[in-house]
Structure 1
Amino acid sequence: MKILRLVAFLLVSFLVFGCKKAKDNTVDNVNDESLVAVQNAMIEPIKKALPIVIDELTTLIGIDKDKDHNIINYQYEVKNTSEHTLLLPSTLDTIRQTLFKAYCENNEEMQQLKTAFPDGANYHYFIDNKEIVVVELTPVDCHVK
């Protein structure tokens, strides 16, 4: 009799926890779909406006969402600059500081970006279609000094 009760208890437990997990997965799927919709709403207008000249050396040529994470990827083409110059520590520091300052700015636009892409932003710099530099930033970076 004890074995029968134990089996019945385990069966009921599996059913209860299985139903709860199925419900949680449904809620997660709805949340995921909502997040993807927000992400697409942010990315698509920018895609339509590409290419966007940032300054005399830099043009935004692409924008997309990372397939595996909630990260936004920006692709920039750098003109009139050698690979060596782009890789200089002073150049890399300037790029990183400029991106950090913009990404960590406390304004509505950046808050929306960080909410839509909670895993961060990656900035890819290309020269002649060759990726030279990637700068990765996350919301945590804004709280670390």
Structure 2
Amino acid sequence: MKKCFCFICVCFFINYVANVFAGEQSSNDPAQQLLVRNIKSRLPLKFDEYTTLVDVSIKNGMLDFIHEIKGISAEKFNDPQREKILHDLSIVKYCKYDPNDAMLKGFFPKGFNYNYYVEGKQVLQIHVDKVDCKPN
């Protein structure tokens, strides 16, 4: 089953790359939709005592992650220093090589949006893409 899924992903990836180079990338790309469905099937995903990934979608060609924060007030997100720390951590995670994330980055070259919500209210959005990755 796992080999079959990997084979299907590789086929979609080859088709996706061909379409990107031909300038035919669609917002309804079946490979992107397949990956999003696969991620959604594993949700909710608790990262730590405060943060849970509750949804993922495609918006404007970017992978859009929705995180729910519990146990931290919305006011704490108004701190520019805290926002910078979270932005820097997001860049480190995005730019670090991880074989699992490499496929996602290939399918979503416009990058990822990390959205953080407290009690149903968006308190922070962080966008990262390959431009944020600096060569060593």
Task: Give the TM-score normalised by structure 1.
Answer: 0.71
Aligned length: 116
Seen in structure 2, the aligned counterparts of structure 1 residues 131 and 144 have a Cα distance that, compared at 3 Å, is farther
Is 1:112 paired with 2:103?
Answer: yes
Show the counterpart of 2:85: 94
> What letter is aligned with 2:55?
G
1:136 aligns with 2:118: no
Q: Is the 8 A contact 1:50 1:62 kept in 2?
A: yes
- State whether residues 70 and 116 of structure 1, in contact with CA within 8 Å, keep that contact through their aligned partners in structure 2: no
Shift, 1:144, TM fit: 7.2
Deviations 1:82-140 (A, max 9, x none): 11112222321221122111100123222211110011100100001011100011111
Partner Cα distance (1:79, 1:101) in 2:
23
Secondary structure of 2:71's aligned partner: coil
Distance 1:32 1:130 in 2: 30
Alignment RMSD: 2.3
Q: Tell me the percent identity.
A: 24
Q: How does 1:1-145 map to 2 (within 5 A)?
A: 28-29=23-24, 32=26, 36-66=29-59, 69-143=60-134
Residues 65, 71 of structure 1: 8 Å contact kept: yes
Q: Matches of 1:144 and 1:137 in 2, distance apart?
A: 15
More helix by share: 1
Question: CA deviation digits over 1:20-67, x for unaligned, max 9?
Answer: xxxxxxx654x548x81221222112212211111000010110001x
TM-score (norm 2): 0.75
C-alpha distance in 1 between matches for 2:103 and 2:51: 24
Q: Which amino acid aligns with 2:127?
A: E
Q: What secondary structure, in the 3-state scheme, does the structure 1 residue paired with 2:41 have?
A: helix
